[in-house]
Structure 1
Amino acid sequence: MASGSYGFGSTEIIVNADDGFYSDIRDQGIVSCLSTVDRGVSDVSVLMNGAVAKSLLSCPDHKRPQMSSLFSHISRNRHIPGLHFNLTEGKPLSKTKFVRSLLNDHGYFLGKHGFRRKLVFSGIHMNEVEVELESQINAFRDVFGTIPSHFDGHQHVHVLPGIDMVVARVISRLGIKWIRVPIEYIPETSCCITESEINFYREVSDQAMKAKEIFSSYSLKYTQKFIGMALMGKSQTMESLDRSLSSFENCKNVEFMVHPGYRTIKHTNESNNLEGCGDPDGPDIFSQSSDREHEMFFLTSDEFKDYLIVHNYELLKFSDLS
């Protein structure tokens, strides 16, 4: 039985859609999850170097709702999203000369594994991480007029050694209170998760354990539990969700990380400026996968919404938490 049915009160659950502003087609799917009656997604975090964000930054305020389905929905509902801090995909918002250690020879971020390899060999300059972090926060402020309601990292970059300290220092100073701590039990095997993915998720969890101490030292808040890495794509089923939530006893709140949306289409030219983070090859394989639509349909299903009701989960945004 899921933890939400234990005790006298409900368990708060934040179902957070990552990768907002990556592309408008992805965003349309996220909006469908946010808009559904008894919605299946309660919050979202956005990529400020995503194609949609860049289009919003370049147009007048009054035209922004026409440029983005997600921005339009957020504005109508007075919803302040989170920031999905990105150091691994696409182009930076900072000028190249100020963040050279974060980039390859062509001016693009180094990728999930490339960034981590360079970090291990002390090739990443933390002052440059801070420059790009502040650029992304400033861009968020330009679009929304305020600071993010919460903070997480694209491909969990925010819990990497050294990055965690920069993040904690900067966002605590700015008054951003909630941060993701992706500590999750990862099964030994799974029909839908590769061995390399299992190893990566375990590495992230180990790093998050250490980052948690740093975040706490800066008085940052985080949910008591986290799920989502082992529940991505086709692994997102009622059985696997119940297995994850049932392992938590007397849990006050939990964040469920999700990646729903309509999948993007591969483009080989630069004419499509509302897809991805600016990589020359266009949107990545993850965004093109049918897994994105699988998650969207799962999260808007009656079965998922009924599960939350039956097990006494209260669906909230980060801004609703005390």
Structure 2
Amino acid sequence: MKASSPDFWWHEHPSTLSKMLLPAGWVYGEITARRMNKAPSVKVHVPVICIGNLVVGGTGKTPFSIGLAKQLQRAGKRPGFLLRGFGGALKGPVQVNPDHHSAHDVGDEALLLAKVAPTVVCADRGKGALMASAGPIDVLLMDDGFQNPSLHKDLSIVLVDLSTGFGNGECLPAGPLRAPVKKQLQFADILVTVESATRKTAAGEAAMNVLTKANLPVFSTQLVACSDQQEVSGKEYIAFSGIGRPEKFFETLKREGAKVVTSVPYADHHPFTRQDAEKLVNLSALHQTPLMTTEKDFARFETRNEPEFKQLRQMTAVFKVQIEIENLAEFMRVLKKRLFAP
């Protein structure tokens, strides 16, 4: 289970604690940057598109990956997914079967992706890519792994959440960056900004200034409710979530007009326990208010058979989101030119 990211990472300027951790951050960032420079050891016969980010935490990679896969399918392609399967016990390589595997086996993200296209999870990206490319696919989408050099990438798409930008601009553990921004951007081909809030933040504006100077195509996207999402405006909910940044989900609900009576955040990829389920059910009964969570969170207890989870599922609505690319036609033109041009 991933721990929640510390609040000081997302301050505009490094805090006292962050400054104390700066030497460790410089070392970590330099090690990661050097690692990214290593030559890949595996190359497969299908194009590999990496969907990554520069910081720790959620930026919308999974909904973006799902949306991109659907666009490729509409274009006549046969995409497949590769991911590490964080939160799952299986190290792989293994082909995900939603009817057989649970989030405990392969992680929550893999279950969502497998509903859209063939999905392989593997701790070793190279081995996973070899299995995935042996299947009925002609393009491989790698969810995360931008900093991992083991697999040759034909195109790297980097997502940046403009609600948080690069946080305090420092590397782990002093800040959220996995390596210095400029050193990471050397390996990017397309930049995608993700907006999920109506207000602009100083961190987002600072990040946008850096991205526009990177001499790379930049595309804007919005994280919005799916078209088939039930209406939430004016309704009261108790929101709970254990994703990269739960508060982002809570803010999205409020932006859609929902009245969040109370919110319950958990750590990223939190494995819900029977005690968690019982507490949430009791909280819903106390406030006489239904529960609301994300697709990722719901996937973690969707197949649990204990009575507490059966009751939790009955009382919980799922808020589905998608990422809309503002200039979709141009984005697909650039992508196809890079990957499929003769």
TM-score bucket (shorter structure): 0.3 to 0.5
TM-score normalized by structure 1? 0.36
Larger relative strand fraction: 2
Say which structure, 1 or 2, has more relative contact order (CA 8 Å, 6+ apart): 1
TM-score normalised according to structure 2 size: 0.35
Give 1 or 2: higher helix fraction: 1
